[in-house]
Structure 1
Amino acid sequence: MQEKKDSPQRGLLRGTSVVGGATLLSRIMGLARDVVFARLTGAGEAADAFFVAFKIPNFFRRLFAEGAFAQAFVPVLAEYRQNGGLAAAKELNDRVAGALGGTLLLVTLFGVLCAPLVTGIFAFGWWWGGNEPAKFAMATDMLRITFPYLMLISLTGFAGAILNSFDRFAIPALTPILLNLVLIAAATVAAGWFDPSVMALAWGVLVAGVAQLLFQIPFLMREGLLPRPKWDWQYPGVRKILRLMAPAIFGVSVTQISLVLDTVLASFLPTGSVTWLYFSDRLTELPLGVFGVAVATVILPNLSRQHAGGDPRRFRHTIDWALRCVTLIALPAAVALFVLAEPLLTSLFQYGNMTARDMQMAAWSLRAYTFGLLAFMLIKVLAPGYFARQDTATPVRFGLIAIASKMILSLLFVVPLHLYFQLGHMGLAMATAGQAAINAWLLYRGLRQGGVYAPEAGWRSFLARLLLANLAMAAVLLGVLHYWPDWNDWPWWQRAWRIGALVAAGGATYLGVLLASGLRPRHFRATS
């Protein structure tokens, strides 16, 4: 395979655009999937059971495909490629494929055979005291079907990490679309063949895992990168990845761990809480997944190469560029989601079995999540600054502090909100936002104190422009909403064009004020 060369500035921008565009398409399909879910399941026992059964392997997906495995594997692969060339990189891929595949097979067998135990851990409130036997049994049955998705999607993540390391970003970014397409088909075509119908979604998850893995294999073959698994735990590269990976699970994936804690605590709250959190989290994940993950995906291999090549100046430039990019997107996304929380949820999900009250409850947790959106995205781009240097111990320490803070914040927020306002799920979202802010601050401070990163010139004027643009956008959105208050009374097509008009008006205002204040694309190219 011929090595690919490009300017660092153009490579970062192009890579981010490719990943962001593909991820945006996937997220749009994901929203369509959730609209179908809302029609099929509503917010009852069956919906809560499926979302727990889906969230468990999905949690591990984020650890492996987007989290700890990629953060440990990509820097080591870059080191082998830098020092030993393509042949050494391929040899590492073969050894990792054997070790990873064998381990995942054992974990999958354990998960399927011990599904009641795993369900009890993630939905402890349904098991404790036997208060929710039907819901617990349904979630356990579905988990036996969905748990093998962990093995399939982790191998898919491994394949994607190889392609990303060689700057082949498009295929891994497009792969998640298959999950959404298969689940939409399961909900619309196959649901009538199952009793309860939600079981069709569980089987859809399994089929989607197979489809995503098979989709990447031809592209690995075309690039000459398809691994030939070799079982060798003593291989130095495998042992190094394992040493980096174990603590990285805590460091980079602390946000995902906190979301699982939300599910555990929500199992003690009224029926519907898990579903309300799911839909509000899905909207928060839209900007996070499209832009935060896109930027993080592109900068990790670049940072790894820059560190391996001994180029600290470009390393600092890359982090600064990434921080500006995510701040530019995260702030308006948070403002828009806060202001438009209920109209967005109503327009997307209030159909079929989903009620107006469900949307109101989900809106409360969505507003709470928005306070942590910037922090969520900062974590995505700050963590690679550690993992590219093969430093996993520091993020572990920060992650443990953040998780401990989440526990304290959960008690402070959930108990009073549940007892006095029946909004315990909102308290969980508030605690998650606070935990993310603490983790992001610790990661940022660590890079500053270690001399790894220092902000480049222009941040004050940049933030002032963003503040002005966000205030203008919020004023426009609130002004239009004053004349469109009754979203529950409109049919879907009226909701659709109105929410589209609001998004367009808000986006145009934001971009217009930024341009009027002097912000230009070259400001970002200069820092990449």
Structure 2
Amino acid sequence: MIARPVRLVAGFATVGAWTMASRVLGFLRDILIAASLGAGPVAEAFFVAFTLPNMFRRLFAEGAFNTAFVPLFAKRLEGEGPEEARAFAEAAFAGLASLLVVFTLAAQIAMPAMVLLLASGFAGDARFALTVEFGRIVFPYIVFISLAALVSGVLNALGRFAAAAAAPVVLNLVLIAALLLAGLPGVDAGGTPLAGTILSWGVILAGIGQLALVWFAASRAGMRIALRRPRLTPGLRRLAVIALPAALAAGVMQINLVVGRQVASYFEGSVAWLWLADRIYQLPLGVVGVAVGVVLLPELARRLRADDAPGAQHAVSRAAEFALFLTLPATVALVAIPAPITALLFERGAFGPADTAATAAALVIYTLGLPAFVLQKVVQPVYFAREDTATPLRFAIVAMAVNAVVAVGLAGVIGYLAAPLGTTLAAWANLWLLWRGARRVGAELAPDARFARRLPRIGLAALGMGAVLLAGAAAGEAVLPGLPAALTVALVCLGLGAYGGLALALGAVTRADLRDAVRRKRRS
């Protein structure tokens, strides 16, 4: 019974394609922010303010609630039918909405303290008041995006991945429109607080649009989620029991973010540098890691309910293979040519060469943790599909300690770069603990013969591509002097061609795989 992984790979492709579209638009958004605001106080204030709802949404949505909700919903759908599953989804929606509204009202009052918690280095200068103002505007975004994540979990469990994956596109389109509005003559946005205010209100409008998109998609799929009066049903109690450790684990992981932002807030400009470096390495993480995590969790929950151990192992092996096939070359490329990529994306307007160099240095360190971040998305569903959220919590606490010791301990030595170094080392520590623990739980993580055969070939193809990029960068300076953008685009194309050719030549991927992928894409 391993036919479903054909659909699994198609799901990866669907989520990955929409995530790629979102990330490309996200880069356009950040390019506009960097060009108009640079790494100045308005940019830093907006980045910190926008971090607040996104940080807490990982507790209430993707990081906790959904990891508990999706397996329970999938099992009800498989075992009790769509009506029982919908009733459970409506109860969860009502309970989550009530909790979020109360939490948002409390956050409005406590916003100054929340800003200090995230960026105490802002205290005493203009960034603090700006961040409080922007934070109060954007924080209600958590209500809309968390409810959208729950409805997206319903769609994912139904095997409908497109609308949920497309929802982030709405955010980036709205924010791009807000930036263009802010730049109109007479609006006077360039570097002034007004630009941040317009962006902040754009976040709220985007959240409404994201929730509307997935809600209508669920309705069309026959799973219309009605808003009902919240009641503590037995199913909701079970959901809370499972979600609590996951929320604590997500909270621990968010402490890592707080530590990094705190360190950065004491070095002028570094909040913006780290934000933009994070945006670059998040492209492969978002496209690959998010796609794997979204599709694999409901698939594993169904496999385990059906006692299909070979199918579960096959699904995990294909997910790991898919993840590494795309992640390893991205890692090598970002380490080989970080400055040209950063300059191509952001160096214009108020964002100068010094900002590029500082951002590229952080990018290299973040990128070294990229394989660990992506593989966590493969390993964690092994726990979540078994409704085990307590074990990842213990491992997350260890990773948090690693991050705090490195980021705070080395800040006086290497400055703002201590923050990405702590993040990267914590990611590898967490992956090692998750992998070791999961091997004791079940056999899904035992690599099958195909994965064991292809992994070293993928690694060789990626390293070969890296050598080609370094040689091309050295030669390109002589061929295209004074044209850094053209050189970077040429290098990216050269790297893609080199990796594709080496992957085929070494057997990291076969022509039959490519033909099957095209056929699956056409069918889906």
Scaled by the length of structure 1, what TM-score is found?
Answer: 0.91
- 2:122 corresponds to which of 91, 111, 126: 126
Distance between the aligned counterparts of 1:322 and 1:254, measured in 2?
26
Which amino acid in structure 1 is aligned with residue 441 of structure 2? G
For residue 307 of structure 1, report the CA deviation from its aligned partner.
Answer: 1.6
Residue 400 (structure 1) aligns with: 397
Residue 12 (structure 1) aligns with: 8
For residue 308 of structure 1, report the CA deviation from its aligned partner.
Answer: 1.9
Is contact 2:151-2:214 (8 Å) kept? yes
For residue 253 of structure 1, report the CA deviation from its aligned partner.
Answer: 7.0
Structure 2 residue 388 is matched with structure 1 residue 391: yes
For residue 256 of structure 1, report the CA deviation from its aligned partner.
Answer: 4.7
Deviations 1:154-197 (Å, cap 9, x if unpaired)? 11111111111101100010111111111111111135266522
Return 144-153 or 459-468, whichever deviates more: 459-468
- 1:326 corresponds to which of 311, 323, 327: 323
Distance between the aligned counterparts of 1:86 and 1:105, measured in 2?
28
- 2:154 corresponds to which of 159, 162, 178: 162
Return 180-189 or 259-268, whichever deviates more: 259-268
- 2:262 corresponds to which of 264, 267, 281: 264
SS of the residue corresponding to residue 81 of structure 2 reads: helix
Residue 520 (structure 2) aligns with: none
Residue 246 (structure 1) aligns with: 244
Is contact 2:461-2:502 (8 Å) kept? yes
For residue 255 of structure 1, report the CA deviation from its aligned partner.
Answer: 4.9
Is contact 2:5-2:314 (8 Å) kept? no
Which amino acid in structure 2 is aligned with residue 152 of structure 1? F
- 1:423-438 residue pairs with structure 2 within 5 A? 424-438=415-429
Deviations 1:51-89 (Å, cap 9, x if unpaired)? 000111122234444321211100110121222111110
Is contact 2:68-2:239 (8 Å) kept? yes
Residue 48 (structure 2) aligns with: 52
Return 370-379 or 461-470, whichever deviates more: 461-470
Which amino acid in structure 1 is aligned with residue 282 of structure 2? E
Distance between the aligned counterparts of 1:45 and 1:204, measured in 2?
19
SS of the residue corresponding to residue 354 of structure 2 reads: helix
Which amino acid in structure 2 is aligned with residue 499 of structure 1? T
Residue 216 (structure 2) aligns with: 218
Residue 438 (structure 2) aligns with: 447
Return 366-375 or 496-505, whichever deviates more: 496-505
- 1:181-330 residue pairs with structure 2 within 5 A? 181-191=173-183, 192=187, 196=193, 197-251=195-249, 255-268=253-266, 270-330=267-327
Residue 421 (structure 1) aligns with: none
- 1:141-180 residue pairs with structure 2 within 5 A? 141-180=133-172
SS of the residue corresponding to residue 175 of structure 1 reads: helix
Which amino acid in structure 1 is aligned with residue 500 of structure 2? L
For residue 488 of structure 1, report the CA deviation from its aligned partner.
Answer: 12
Query: What residue ranges of structure 1 are gaps of 5+ in the alignment?
Result: 418-423
Which amino acid in structure 2 is aligned with residue 367 of structure 1? V
Residue 505 (structure 1) aligns with: 494
Residue 106 (structure 2) aligns with: 110
Which amino acid in structure 2 is aligned with residue 12 of structure 1? L
Report % sequence identity.
38
CA change 1:307–1:459 in 2 (3 A) is closer
Distance between the aligned counterparts of 2:158 and 2:251, measured in 1?
24
Structure 2 residue 93 is matched with structure 1 residue 97: yes
Is contact 1:64-1:157 (8 Å) kept? no
Distance between the aligned counterparts of 1:299 and 1:367, measured in 2?
29
Which amino acid in structure 2 is aligned with residue 267 of structure 1? S
CA change 1:40–1:117 in 2 (3 A) is same
CA change 1:485–1:367 in 2 (3 A) is farther
SS of the residue corresponding to residue 402 of structure 1 reads: helix
CA change 1:273–1:193 in 2 (3 A) is same
CA change 1:105–1:252 in 2 (3 A) is closer
Residue 83 (structure 1) aligns with: 79
Q: How many residues of Structure 1 are paired with residues of Structure 2 in the alignment? A: 508
- 2:507 corresponds to which of 518, 524, 527: 518
Which amino acid in structure 2 is aligned with residue 168 of structure 1? R
For residue 309 of structure 1, report the CA deviation from its aligned partner.
Answer: 2.0
Is contact 2:455-2:508 (8 Å) kept? no
Deviations 1:217-247 (Å, cap 9, x if unpaired)? 2222212212123334421111111111121
